[in-house]
Structure 1
């Protein structure tokens, strides 16, 4: 096992003492971890680990569907602040679950609430990578019109255990669709099936779209064993050596984590969709056409000019506010 090329694409915080993980991280053989924050209470811990071990931990912030019913009012603002502070983070662990029940109430989690939370997070993922739970989902469909709301996203189906039909339908999506699907494998989830079935399922995943994971939060020995099991399952199914499996999964995970958005006009690449849009407006679409007639400052978007006029603060408001009207903003709906 070439540990220098290993990346655990989906792991968790330990349920026990966090100090155990902190004390063991430097000694763990696994090269990198993507650690999930599944609710707002996890996010500061994930952030602390990412700051303490920047070369080891890739942070991920999100709301798991099982946490969607008890969120603070400011949860989304908080999520945005974490994403802003960690531009290379993932959004996750998030998703939709039509089957699971709340252990305390024995009632299924409200699917309408899940959808609302999920869509908000999906919008936040514009131009970013997305780690998504695909657990016990009967059917999730996002039509083409809905897709237009979102940027191009690398979309990982964690511990993918769906039917061959679902896998085939996802793989049939064209390259210019808004989602690039990756599929990760864990022993703890995928290994529950009979060996013949999980081998068949793994074999169908394209070589360039498969990843390995533990789906655990643990310490030395536990995590290495879980990731080794995942890699060995993939190696057996694909007919690869363990060394080849390490090489291919390392390339796949680096590509998944570093996906950039390409400007269709010049080919320049960007990490986030808003950055690409700003580039297109300033370079390809006439620069900044909305000018303040009072101070001369230019804006790429009409709403940027309006905010300049209205929300600069009492001491710094542009004096044009006194005569502000829609003529300042060409084609403005205001």
Structure 2
């Protein structure tokens, strides 16, 4: 069986020294058939839209404002976001969330995050979530996040994992996950149907690393890698592909 992968979180707009055509070819050469093109700020959105227009089979666009860039969001950013959500009925919202580690303006960060939650419900889209050291902040949002939202680059506790599963959310892991204390316990506790894989390239790993992520999960959960790859692929299809 030829394995195919769905990269749940990649920043296509941040690669340098490579054309879009070469980048998509590189993904395909590494077995990545589909991916979510994640954005962090308004300036990324048009570039992500072009990827989605040019490669509609391979690319699911994800438009949003990352908490690091929330203070930069100018008046009207939400109206512009709506235009992209209307143009791409399969687009998701993010990367958005809360980051206690690097927060410089929690009031603005919260305002921008809550507006994206509002739009996610209005347009019936999941969120791509960036949550760092934010467990306490998250408490007031349980039940307020749209189902099938994704906690990307998950590094939380088993307790956090159980909560998000209870509210029908997913976690996504990448190469760095396996360096974290407690990674084995997280994989032991997460149901396969709530698990996704990502590269978070070009920042946290490389395109070629995704197969190794799946291999590591297969070994730690004692699963057949080909069957696991298929399961993870269709998990992502269930979340990201709007039939």
TM norm. shorter chain > 0.5: yes
Structure 1 stretches of 5 or more lacking a match?
A: 101-107, 174-178, 260-270, 272-334
Cα distance per residue 1:16-75 (max 9 Å; x no partner): 536434323135321001010110000000000110111111100000000000112121
Return the structure number with greater relative CO, CA threshold 8 A, min gap 6. 2
Matching of residues 233-312 of structure 1 within 5 Å: 233-258=216-241
Kindly tell me: are residues 14 and 43 of structure 1, through their superposed partners in 2, closer, same or farther at Cα, counting changes over 3 Å? Answer: closer
Kindly tell me: are residues 79 and 180 of structure 1, through their superposed partners in 2, closer, same or farther at Cα, counting changes over 3 Å? Answer: same
Kindly tell me: are residues 170 and 118 of structure 1, through their superposed partners in 2, closer, same or farther at Cα, counting changes over 3 Å? Answer: same
Structure number having the greater helix percentage: 2
Give the match for residue 280 of structure 1.
none
TM, length-normalised to structure 2: 0.88
Moved more, 133-142 or 52-61: 133-142
Structure 1 residue 201: Cα displacement: 1.2
Whole-Å separation in 2 of the counterparts to 1:94 and 1:57: 19
Kindly tell me: are residues 119 and 109 of structure 1, through their superposed partners in 2, closer, same or farther at Cα, counting changes over 3 Å? Answer: same
Matching of residues 73-112 of structure 1 within 5 Å: 73-100=75-102, 108-112=103-107
Give the match for residue 28 of structure 1.
27
**2:197 alignment partner, one of 208, 212, 230:** 212
Matching of residues 148-227 of structure 1 within 5 Å: 152-171=146-165, 173=166, 179-188=167-176, 190-194=177-181, 197-217=182-202, 222-223=206-207, 225-227=208-210
**2:127 alignment partner, one of 94, 109, 130:** 130
Structure 1 residue 252: Cα displacement: 1.0
TM, length-normalised to structure 1: 0.65
**2:61 alignment partner, one of 56, 59, 62:** 59
Structure 2 stretches of 5 or more lacking a match?
A: none
Cα distance per residue 1:77-118 (max 9 Å; x no partner): 110001000010010100111111xxxxxxx42111111100
Kindly tell me: are residues 66 and 217 of structure 1, through their superposed partners in 2, closer, same or farther at Cα, counting changes over 3 Å? Answer: same
Give the number of aligned pairs: 236
Whole-Å separation in 2 of the counterparts to 1:13 and 1:118: 22
Whole-Å separation in 2 of the counterparts to 1:74 and 1:18: 32
Structure 1 residue 222: Cα displacement: 3.4
Pair 1:46 & 2:30 matched: no
Q: 2:39, 2:64 within 8 Å by CA — same for their partners in 1?
A: yes
Shift >6 Å, 4+ stretches: none
Whole-Å separation in 1 of the counterparts to 2:130 and 2:206: 22
Whole-Å separation in 2 of the counterparts to 1:238 and 1:230: 12
Give the match for residue 268 of structure 1.
none
